[in-house]
Chains A and B, each alone.
Chain A
Amino acid sequence: MNNLFLRVSIWVYLGIFFAYLLGPLVIMALTAFNSNGFPSVSPWECFTYVWFSELFQDERILNGIKNSIVVGIGTVIMSVTMGLSGALILTQIWPKLRATYYTIVIAPILVPGVVLGISTVVFWQRVNNFFGFGPDSIFADGLFLTIIGQSTFIASYCMLVLVARLQRYDMTLNEAALDLGATHTQAFRKILLPFMMPAIATSAVLAFLASFENYNTTTFTFGDYPTLTIELAQKVRYGISPAISALAFIIIVLTVFGALTNEALKRRKELQAASSGDTVKKVDGGFRLPTFLSRNPAMIAVVMLVAAVGLSAVNAMTHNPGQCIAQVQEERQVIRALEAAENLRALAERRAAAAAAREAEAAANGEVEEPAATPATPQGGSTGAFGSVFAPTNLDGAEDGEAEAEEGEAPDNPLGSVFDPTNLSTATED
């Protein structure tokens, strides 16, 4: 019983967790296909690809992608190089220094990106001034500053990835190469580098992605070279459009594709390693998947994803949501007309109410003045002097209010003259 409860609650928790994690992305991806100009799912209008074509016509986005790629390549080169030398030295450094060294090298990951960006800009401006260069020298160049600023902390990521593999490296291999007459550089290039290659590739991919999505540092350094992230941030801050959802959809599909491919290749390698021991191939009867697909669900998913993207691309050529959009617009116009009529009526009512309120106020003012003029007048009256002024129906309209006021006027009431229409008009003039 208790066990069942635990199990259920674990699944509920997992459901909530992944809903929080993936839900927003799924909804954002869906909004890319809704023709509604404000990215949303719930009033679903028409299925459309129009936001994609709008995205591809956006000069700033395209330029941002170009800048991002240039920055990414520069950052990858710098941070992998620095990360590799950082890792090599970490494995060799004098043990007592290691903790301090490690702290310094890891620190950039923890330092807020804003701080890194500012310090980079400030420092290189100083350097620039020191050499007496102008504002268009390389040290003040947005591309240079962005690459430098991003590499500062991305190199730390790379180092962590590279150290993990370097720790498994057999140092005797290096010694063997040296004993056989290789120079240090040869040993490095022919033995260590090939061994490190998988980790270098991983860290390069990580570095590129980290550079591509960096905002906090880049926002201070970018200068004349806004990256894609900067452009996106500016767009998102000043009004949102489904074209951004379209871009997000593309990025999500690419990410899923990359993750699945990676998984599929890993699985394939495992399968090959497992099957290399078999001398006799198993014979299965009936339907068989092509060999590269069998027992590899990730690969199947990749193929399905590619097929889905291809199909929707074909669909996009022929799909024409014009009729649907026209229909929705028609409906909207009807709704808008109704709303306008509604608004007009509401406005008229509000105006009337305001006028009534004004008059009532004026009446009240008159009321206050009156007793001052005749202090001996008894306050007690038939319905109370204020009674009719504040009656709820009084707000319905000016005419009604006046009528009401006249109605409330009792012949023997000493305040009766207050509600005299002429009295009201003079009070309003006050």
Chain B
Amino acid sequence: MKKGFLHNFYQHNGRVLGTALLVILTFWIGVLIILPQLSMLDYSLREYLPSGQVGEYTLKNYRHLVYGAEGASDPYNYVDLKVFTRTIVAAICVTIFNLLLCYPIAFFLGQVAKGMKLRIFAMLLIIPYWINEILRAFALKIIFGATGMINAVLIGMGILDEPFDFIRADIALYAGLGYAYILLMVFPMYNVIESLDHNQIEAARDLGAPWWRIHWRIVVPYAKPGISSGCTMVFMLSAGALAAPQILGGPSSLWFTQIIYQWFNDGGNWSQGAAYAIVLLVSCIIIVLAFMKMFKVNMGDIGK
């Protein structure tokens, strides 16, 4: 069968072009996507030698995440495990927050707004997305700072007596993560909701359904592919975010990617970092697949 495909392919594209396409694609999938991941997996299973040579196979790097360094006083590596759990739970919370925040605007843009209004809103949505991620985090840092806008307003209104440290309380971090990926939540949902026939909503309304039931029984089931692909992207990106935690995170709280970063840059143990990265990747994939199974969505719907 495979040969039949190749034969057809060459007939369709000609020899030169066909070969060029295959070579480029093989380079991308093989050398850029698959081999590096395998290489990282292999690396994470080996002893780290600073010389850059490869060491013996060992499970030490994974054991470190669960049990901590050998000879440590605690039976488990509470610090890293706590950061890991916190990262995953916080990423899920950020995703839910974004879903709740963005569903109305996606519906509004997809079904209610028309013409000029739609264009203006779409543009207002896109512009922040093209501003650098670092600068967006910086903007939130200015606002949430001790002398920032929010504290000034709250004190001015008499709600607070003295500045509240939003950064230490991690409020700035969660706001920043939600802020960074709003667009990735809005657009997949908007694309699906826009294709919903407005007559269905009209029909439900004529039959006497209240507005919340129209959403629950018609719009949400229809928009499920968009919702799931938006949620997947926001979850994966916030769990894997590095810039926002580095800039907005409190001094005492870490994000799991920051631990990976430390192993790589400051700790100088690449194998350890690779093992942690694999753990992050695999657990994110498992969580996404589990949620997709729970809500009965197909993989093919993602990215549409």
Contact = CB atoms under 8 A, between A and B. Distances in A.
Contacts of A10: 104, 108, 112
Nearest to A124: B36
Chain A contact surface mostly: helix
Interface string B6-21: 0011001111111011
A347 interface: no
Interface string A51-85: 00000000000000000000000000000011001
Contacts of B207: none
A258 B270 CA distance: 41
Given A27-B139, A110-B232, A148-B32, A21 B302 contact: no
Contacts of A82: 24-25, 27-28, 32
Contact of A114 (B2, B5, B136, B277): B277
Contact of A233 (B9, B104, B124, B246): B246
Contacts of B211: 6
B127 A255 contact: yes
Contacts of A258: 130
B39 interface: yes
B127 A184 contact: no
Contact of A216 (B12, B232, B242): B242
B191 to A, nearest CB: 11
A312 to B, nearest CB: 20
A103 B32 CA distance: 15
A13 interface: yes
A237 B135 contact: no
Interface in A24-59: 24-25, 27-28, 31, 38-43
Contacts of B273: 118
Contact of B142 (A24, A106, A126): A24
Contacts of B130: 209, 213, 255, 258-259
B240 A112 contact: yes
Interface size classification for chain A: 35 or more
Nearest to B43: A122
A123 B42 CA distance: 10
Nearest to A140: B52
A255 B264 contact: no
Contacts of A122: 36, 39-40, 43, 270, 274
Contacts of A118: 40, 260, 264, 270, 273-274, 277
Interface in A169-185: 183-185
A151 B36 CA distance: 13
B209 interface: no
Contacts of A260: 123
Interface string A360-399: 0000000000000000000000000000000000000000
Interface in A207-237: 209, 212-213, 215-216, 219-220, 228-229, 232-233, 236-237
A103 B131 CA distance: 29
Chain B contact surface mostly: helix
B138 A248 contact: yes
B134 A233 contact: yes
B214 to A, nearest CB: 12
B200 interface: no
Interface in B123-180: 123-128, 130-143, 145, 147-149, 152, 179
Nearest to A217: B242
A251 B21 contact: no
Contact of B139 (A14, A25, A92, A229): A25
Interface string A1-18: 000001000100110011
B36 A123 contact: yes
Given A112-B236, A123-B36, A188 B247 contact: no
B242 A251 contact: no
A27 B17 CA distance: 52
A52 B87 CA distance: 38
Given A103-B299, A114-B242, A220-B264, A248 B135 contact: yes
A330 to B, nearest CB: 21
A221 to B, nearest CB: 11
A253 to B, nearest CB: 11
B117 to A, nearest CB: 10
Contacts of B132: 212-213, 228-229, 232, 248, 251
Nearest to A160: B303
B55 to A, nearest CB: 13
A102 B302 CA distance: 10
Contacts of A212: 132
A115 B240 contact: yes
A127 to B, nearest CB: 9
A53 B260 CA distance: 37
Q: Which 10 A-B pairs have the closest CB atoms?
A: A112-B240, A184-B14, A119-B36, A24-B139, A123-B36, A28-B139, A119-B40, A123-B39, A42-B152, A82-B28
29 contacts: A10-B104, A21-B124, A21-B125, A24-B139, A28-B138, A89-B25, A104-B29, A104-B33, A106-B302, A111-B236, A112-B239, A114-B280, A119-B39, A119-B277, A152-B36, A183-B14, A185-B16, A212-B132, A213-B130, A219-B242, A219-B261, A232-B134, A232-B135, A232-B138, A236-B138, A237-B246, A244-B138, A247-B135, A251-B132
Interface of A: 6, 10, 13-14, 17-18, 20-25, 27-28, 31, 38-43, 81-82, 85-86, 88-89, 92-94, 97, 99, 102-116, 118-126, 129, 148, 151-152, 155, 160, 183-185, 188, 209, 212-213, 215-216, 219-220, 228-229, 232-233, 236-237, 240, 244-245, 247-248, 251-252, 255-256, 258-260, 263, 297
Interface of B: 1-2, 5, 8-9, 12-18, 20-22, 24-25, 27-29, 32-37, 39-40, 43, 52-54, 101, 104-105, 108, 112, 116, 119, 123-128, 130-143, 145, 147-149, 152, 179, 182, 211, 232-233, 236-237, 239-243, 246-247, 257, 260-261, 264, 270, 273-274, 277-278, 280-281, 284, 288, 299-300, 302-303
